[in-house]
Homo-oligomer: A and B are copies of this chain.
Amino acid sequence: MNILIVHAHPEPQSFTAALKDTARQTFEQQGHTVEISDLYAMNFNPVASKDDFSSLNQADYLNYALEQRHAFKQHHLAPDIQTEIEKVQRADLVILSFPLYWTSVPAILKGWIDRVFVSGLFYGGKRFYNHGGMLGKKAMLCLTLGGREHMFGEGAVHGPLEHYLSPLQRGTLAYVGFEVLPPYIAYHVPYISQEDRQKILVNFEQYLQGLDDLQPLAFALLENFDDRMNPLP
């Protein structure tokens, strides 16, 4: 397998980075190839703008998704976007590695999605969910957070974590056709002992060794909807 880890943490010594390094080592020991996009180290630009296209199809009004579609076809995408697209195209598995910022990804990772998941390749027309452009590839979130597990769920103080993750898992990864594996979540990270952190790293290694046995998350199948996306009876 080729694996792409997209990592977004401003501190290179962070526990999130340790999880990323554990993933790299575990996969390489299994004989897989690992590529890492360390967005902070790359000083990745997260702001979608007209500068992402070396020439514009419609110069007087920016429709970002339409420009993506044209620029992808005509090889007019900015080189940093093109490079990231090719990494995703090479990958059989994409892992997003990040600390939960405001129950979501840090902006630098959101911008990686905004700019790299271009219309025309990742999705377009009726090509989404189980017909999305990334069909046949897997994706997974690996995240760290400060809260404890009992603070999330129905009736818990913060509500279900799956709702917070739905823009990533459903609205992004599943939407473009990835098979989405259950997320790996490290809770309460800033407050736990070095010993407990070590235990999480070992547990994560075992999780990754068992990836093939994980049941992917379930999302919409387009066959259950009509042409206007109304549910079929």
Contact = CB atoms under 8 A, between A and B. Distances in A.
Interface of A: 10-11, 13-14, 40, 46-50, 61-65, 101-108, 110-111, 113-114, 117, 129, 146, 148, 150-151, 155-159, 162-164, 166-167, 170-172, 175, 190, 220, 222, 225, 228-231
A5 B230 CA distance: 35
B11 A155 contact: no
Contact of A102 (B49, B107, B113): B113
Contacts of A101: 48, 110, 114
Given A107-B114, A167-B102, A229 B151 contact: yes
Contacts of A159: 166, 170, 220
Contact of A11 (B63, B105, B171, B175): B63
Contacts of A62: 10-11, 14
B103 A61 contact: no
A46 B46 contact: yes
Contacts of A108: 46-48, 107, 111
A10 B164 CA distance: 25
A111 B101 CA distance: 10
Nearest to A129: B157
Contact of A220 (B47, B107, B111, B157): B157
A69 to B, nearest CB: 12
A110 B106 CA distance: 7
Nearest to A165: B167
11 contacts: A10-B48, A65-B146, A102-B171, A102-B172, A106-B110, A148-B228, A155-B231, A158-B171, A158-B220, A164-B171, A166-B166
